[in-house]
A and B are shown apart, each in its own frame.
Chain A
Amino acid sequence: MKNIFLADDDADDRMFFEDALKQVSIPTQLTLASDGLELMNNLEAIVEPPPPDVIFLDLNMPRKNGFQCLEEIRNTPKLKDIPIVIFSTTTNVDAVNKTYQHGANHYICKPHSFELLVKAIETVVTLEMWQKPQPPKEQFVLAFA
């Protein structure tokens, strides 16, 4: 059972993600947050339940955006090693690089088809080994778009 956290301010995208996650080949459990603040609150509340296996993070959110969350998570001892996948709309290379520089493990560009979304989430969620977050040498965008 993989414990997945998602922070996204768009209700439709949250719904797509939830439905896509249901189609993934392994069992998962999803905790949703509608912005960065809610996500951090959810993460702080973790004492007993196991920490998330993957955090999916949108970038453009009110109150607390993706970059702020990224920095906070990476600076929190109990959270800093959790794999983080940025889940956003931008294809701008500089923005993508910035996420890696701030400690993201992967970047998924929100696809234009549900099928592709399922594929992307499947690939990421079933990963067993995660590379340590590092500044990227080449642009590495898991776009599928």
Chain B
Amino acid sequence: MPENNLSDAIRELAFQMEEKEKRAAELIIANKELTFQNEEKEKRAAELIIANKELAFQMEEKEKRAAELIIANKELIFQNTEKERRAAELIIANKELAFQMEEKEKRAAELIIANKELIFQNIEKEKRAAELIIANKELTFQNEEKEKRAAELISANKELESFTYISSHDLQEPLRKIQTFASRLIGDESQIVSDTGKEYLLRIGDAANRMQSLITDLLAYSRTTTSERKFETTDLRRIIEAVLSDFKEVIAEKRATIEVGEMCEAHIIPFQFRQLIHNLIGNALKFANPDNLPHIIIKSRNIKGSNGKTQNALTEKEYCNITVMDNGIGFEPKYKEYIFEIFKRLHDKEKISGTGMGLTIARKIVENHNGVIIATGELNKGATFDIYIPAT
């Protein structure tokens, strides 16, 4: 074989070559196809790249967006939480408001009741005001009546005062005639009268003198009630000295010792107070003890109420205490009030003269000064008169 082998080989090769050329041609077509597909693929790849870039970009965007969304979500969650808290608070606040609303409505209801009450009271008050206006008019009217009455009283008082003065004056005139004629019959015309006649005339004279004292004392008493009451701060020493001067002769005649002690000032009605002291000193001299020489002590001092002898004095108020003390015949303690009564005397008018008005007048004067007078004494051991008058 070998030259058959070679022709088989060459035919094989030619056959393979044809086959290869077919294949090559197929390959070339396939290649062209491939190239075309490749181009297509590359186009597509390029598109894909672009698309991919686009996607990547969108992906990024999406991721940004996602991140933002996550943040936004957190934010929302946070805000939600806040909102829920707020809602919870609002619910509490709401409950609170609801409660307050209830309270306010209760209050409003109470106020309505209170208002009704006030309106009612207002009506009552207006009724009362109307009544008060009427009462006021009544009082004003009564006041006017009282002022008229007071004016009438003042005028009646003045009339009484002048009536009293005139009567006492007019009563004294015939009295004076009786006394003077009687004194003539006892004195320079005594030769026409018998001894019995003279004795009778003496008694006529005495009776007339007593009547004169009575008139004088009654006038003094009426003056203490009707006269003007003008208070002045006065040095008591001046008044005492004036009164002692009035009694100069009697003091000398009885050889009396007058001791004027501590003296103070007092708020008094000078004219009345002089009458008071006159009566007290006059009594001290009149009721002297025949067994010894009269010794009279007069003093005054300022004290507080609690130190005095009277129970009615206000403890803290200031008083002026005037004392007139004598060593005369005194009186039994049981008569300490009796002696101040009008016309009451402890002695026979034959033995000791007097109208029984001196102390009555004295007490009236002390009362005019809003004060009190207290008598203390013992039989034959003298008497003490304490006067307490307010300092102002």
Q: Which residues of A contact B300 (CB under 8 A)?
A: none
CA distance A112 to B210 in the complex (A): 12
Q: Which residues of A contact B209 (CB under 8 A)?
A: 112
Find residues 62-105 in chain B having any chain A CB closer than 8 Å to their own CB: none
Whether B187 contacts A112 by the Cβ 8 Å rule is no
Contact of B180 (CB < 8 Å), options: A16, A23, A90: A16
Q: What number of A residues sit within 8 Å (CB to CB) of B?
A: 13
Find residues 1-57 in chain A having any chain B CB closer than 8 Å to their own CB: 12, 16, 19, 23
Given known pairs A19-B188, A23-B188, A112-B212, the reply for A117 and B176 (CB within 8 Å) is no
Whether B173 contacts A89 by the Cβ 8 Å rule is yes
Given known pairs A89-B169, A90-B169, the reply for A12 and B177 (CB within 8 Å) is yes
CA distance A115 to B184 in the complex (A): 8
Whether B173 contacts A115 by the Cβ 8 Å rule is no
Find residues 61-84 in chain A having any chain B CB closer than 8 Å to their own CB: none
Given known pairs A89-B169, A90-B169, the reply for A114 and B188 (CB within 8 Å) is yes
Q: Does B179 contact A (CB under 8 A)?
A: yes
Q: Which residues of A contact B283 (CB under 8 A)?
A: none
Q: Does A113 contact B (CB under 8 A)?
A: yes
Q: Which residues of B contact A12 (CB under 8 A)?
A: 177, 180-181
Whether B188 contacts A110 by the Cβ 8 Å rule is no
Given known pairs A19-B188, A23-B188, A89-B176, the reply for A113 and B169 (CB within 8 Å) is no
Closest chain B residue, CB of each to CB of A16: B180
CA distance A34 to B168 in the complex (A): 24
Whether B176 contacts A112 by the Cβ 8 Å rule is yes
CA distance A115 to B187 in the complex (A): 8
Q: What number of B residues sit within 8 Å (CB to CB) of A?
A: 16
Whether B169 contacts A114 by the Cβ 8 Å rule is no
Report the minimum CB–CB distance from A21 to chain B (whole Å).
13
Whether B183 contacts A113 by the Cβ 8 Å rule is yes
CA distance A111 to B209 in the complex (A): 12
Q: How many A-B residue pairs have CB under 8 A?
A: 35
CA distance A112 to B184 in the complex (A): 11
Find residues 172-197 in chain B having any chain A CB closer than 8 Å to their own CB: 172-173, 175-177, 179-181, 183-184, 187-188
CA distance A90 to B169 in the complex (A): 8
Report the minimum CB–CB distance from B125 to chain A (whole Å).
59
Report the minimum CB–CB distance from B192 to chain A (whole Å).
14
CA distance A115 to B189 in the complex (A): 11
Q: Which residues of A contact B173 (CB under 8 A)?
A: 89
Whether B188 contacts A113 by the Cβ 8 Å rule is no
CA distance A43 to B183 in the complex (A): 33
Whether B184 contacts A114 by the Cβ 8 Å rule is yes
Whether B183 contacts A115 by the Cβ 8 Å rule is yes
Contact of A112 (CB < 8 Å), options: B169, B179, B188: B179
**Interface residues of A, Cβ cutoff 8 Å to B:** 12, 16, 19, 23, 89-90, 110-115, 117
Q: Rank and list the top 9 A-B pairs by shortest CB-CB distance, nearest first.
A: A113-B183, A112-B179, A114-B184, A114-B183, A112-B176, A114-B180, A12-B177, A115-B187, A114-B187
List, sorted by A's number, 29 A–B pairs whose CB atoms are closer than 8 Å.
A12-B177, A12-B180, A12-B181, A16-B180, A16-B184, A19-B184, A23-B188, A89-B172, A89-B176, A90-B169, A110-B176, A111-B176, A111-B180, A112-B175, A112-B176, A112-B180, A112-B183, A112-B209, A112-B212, A113-B179, A113-B180, A113-B183, A114-B180, A114-B183, A114-B187, A114-B188, A115-B183, A115-B187, A117-B180
